């Protein structure tokens, strides 16, 4: 399986992120993240970790990423 197709990116206001440079940075960042996750996943499997547990942890890892730009409440 290869990296999923990237979506069109939208801001919280619903407007599409159309700046060519921003889209390029997002594409590069997502490609790097995919490759790093793939490498870590393969290493875990080679070390004998269970596939389901590693996948679940990677999902939890993404869920735990914090937004430092969220407005204060």
71 occurs within a structural domain: no
Tell me what pLDDT residue 55 has: 98
DSSP per-residue string spanning 8-68: PPB-TTS-B---HHHHHHHHHHHHHHHHHHHHHHHHHHHTT--HHHHHHHHHHHHHT---T
Tell me what pLDDT residue 33 has: 97
**Residue 72 binned pLDDT confidence (cut-offs 50, 70, 90):** confident
8 occurs within a structural domain: no
25 occurs within a structural domain: yes
4 occurs within a structural domain: no
Residue 15 DSSP SS3: coil
Average pLDDT over residues 27-31: 97
Domain that holds residue 33: 18-62
39 occurs within a structural domain: yes
- State the pTM of this model: 0.85
How many structural domains comprise the chain?
Answer: 1
51 occurs within a structural domain: yes
35 occurs within a structural domain: yes
């Amino acid at each position: 399986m290869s990296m999923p197709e990237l979506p069109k990116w939208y801001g919280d206001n619903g407007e599409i992120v159309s700046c060519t440079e921003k889209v390029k940075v997002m594409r590069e960042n997502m490609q790097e993240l995919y490759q790093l996750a793939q490498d870590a996943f393969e290493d875990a499997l080679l070390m004998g970790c269970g596939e389901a547990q590693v996948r679940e942890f990677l999902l939890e890892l993404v869920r735990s990423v914090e937004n430092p730009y969220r407005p204060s409440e």
